[in-house]
């Protein structure tokens, strides 16, 4: 048993040597930031100020050479080998959020386009799931490993949850959803999870960068802002390959109804009739904003997009503390199939 002390909060907890530091923190009620919990996304990085840690296998790919030089570790993968003194910004907004496992029923299966399905799940009785806009949940089915999906509707006192599921080539679970799953099927969910959520203690303008079904959690955040009657300036950039990949018309409706919301669709493979922006979605943002010092940026989608967006935004003077991301990974049971 080792003691882990967080320099930022001054709080400590006991961590077993056979559990990850992140698991130790979560098991003791500490709201450390995290995402996939499988070593891919890098959301749980922290500075090890003193003490020893190790990984069961090779150093995860999410840890760069610069991270190693700065004594930065991936808390979801490393284990304490001595008492630790670390630096982590805990998420006070998660203080009252409880991760729960509960049954749910498939209420609707709606095909939004050729490769995206909208699932509406209903939690039975008077139960509901408390979560923050942008978080995700795991779907559990006896025939598959758990799969993580972002919640695509704003948190309200409701027992309905919306998910956007993209068909992944070779993805067993997404093929099950597209070809076999029917209404009234009983599933189990566990959540909410993740540290991608709206920081609502700011009034600075927001840029949202969505790639593909990365629009799902961003949809939840924008709906939440609308419900709050927020007047914050919002710029939504949604990037897909072709026009048919835009599976909802909501952004255009928001653009028309709300003066503070500006929607910019971007195609990476535009047809001859396309008159909007083209290329990579993060480059469209950089072309429109040379200085991001006064902004917050939320990016969600494929890892390569999120990584490129982070690099470009910081080069354009965005503070690292104002960049929030959710990287949809397609391996193991990370935020895959999203």
Q: Report residue 270 as tokens.
A: 């535009």
Tens of pLDDT, residue by residue over 164-216, are 999 988 888 999 999 999 999 999 999 999 999 998 888 999 999 999 999 99
pLDDT at 91: 81
The pLDDT value given to residue 336 = 36
Q: How far is CA 267 from CA 83, 152, 185, in A?
A: 50, 22, 36
pLDDT at 125: 79
pLDDT of 47 > 90? The answer is yes
**What torsion do the CA atoms of 16, 18, 19, 25 make, to the nearest 10 degrees?**
20
pLDDT for position 31: 83
Task: Transcribe 155-208 into DSSP letters.
Answer: --S-SEEEEEEEPPTT-HHHHHHHHT--TT-EEEEEEEE-S----TT--S-EEE
DSSP label of 214? G
Q: Which two tokens stand for residue 335?
A: 């935020």
pLDDT above 50 (res 248): yes
Query: pLDDT over 90 for what percent of the chain?
Result: 76
Q: How many residues does the chain have?
A: 338
Q: What is the pLDDT of residue 3?
A: 97
pLDDT digits (tens, 9 = 90+) for 291-316: 999 999 999 999 999 999 999 999 99
Calpha distance 15→29 (Å, rounded): 12
How high is the mean pLDDT of the chain? 92
Residue 249 has pLDDT above 80, yes or no: yes
CB 150 within 8 A of CB 326: yes
Whole-number pLDDT of residue 92: 78
Q: Is the pLDDT of residue 333 over 90?
A: no
- State mean pLDDT over 151-160: 88
* Rounded average pLDDT over 107-126: 94
The string of DSSP letters for 45-95 reads: EEEEEES-EEESSSPPTTS-HHHHHTTEEETTTEEESS-EEEE----GGGT
pLDDT at 334 over 60: no
User: Tens digit of pLDDT for each residue in 266-289?
Assistant: 999 999 999 999 999 999 999 999
Query: Domains in the chain and their CATH numbers?
Result: 2-90 (3.10.20.30), 95-193 (2.40.30.10), 206-327 (3.40.50.80)
């Amino acid at each position: 048993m080792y003691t882990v002390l967080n320099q930022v909060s001054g709080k400590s907890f006991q961590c077993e040597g056979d559990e990850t530091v992140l698991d130790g923190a979560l098991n003791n009620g500490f709201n450390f930031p995290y995402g996939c919990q499988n070593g891919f996304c890098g959301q749980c990085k922290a500075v090890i100020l003193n003490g020893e840690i190790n990984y069961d296998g090779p150093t995860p790919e999410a840890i760069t050479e610069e991270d190693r030089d700065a004594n930065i570790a991936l808390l979801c993968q490393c284990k304490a080998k001595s008492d630790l003194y670390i630096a982590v910004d805990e998420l006070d907004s998660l203080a009252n959020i409880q991760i729960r496992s509960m049954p749910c029923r498939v209420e609707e299966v709606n095909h939004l386009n050729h490769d995206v399905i909208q699932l509406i799940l209903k939690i039975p009785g008077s139960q509901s799931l408390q979560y923050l806009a942008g978080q995700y949940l795991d779907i559990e089915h006896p025939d598959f490993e758990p799969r993580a999906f972002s919640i695509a509707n704003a948190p309200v006192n409701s027992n309905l949850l919306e998910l956007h599921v993209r068909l992944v080539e070779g993805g067993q679970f997404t093929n099950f959803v597209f070809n076999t799953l029917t209404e009234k099927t009983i599933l189990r969910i566990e959540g909410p999870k993740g540290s991608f959520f709206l920081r609502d203690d700011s009034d600075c303008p927001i840029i949202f960068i969505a790639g593909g079904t990365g629009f799902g959690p961003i949809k939840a955040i924008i709906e939440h802002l609308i419900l709050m009657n927020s007047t914050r300036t919002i710029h939504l950039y949604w990037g897909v390959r072709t026009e048919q990949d835009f599976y909802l018309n909501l952004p255009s409706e928001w653009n028309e109804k709300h003066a503070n919301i500006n929607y910019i669709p971007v195609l990476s493979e535009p047809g001859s009739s396309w008159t909007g922006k083209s290329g990579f979605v993060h480059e469209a943002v950089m072309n429109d904003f040379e200085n991001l010092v006064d902004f917050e940026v939320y990016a969600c989608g494929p890892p390569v997009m999120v990584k490129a967006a982070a690099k470009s935004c910081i080069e354009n003077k965005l503070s690292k503390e104002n960049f929030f991301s959710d990287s949809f990974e397609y391996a193991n049971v990370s935020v895959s199939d999203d």
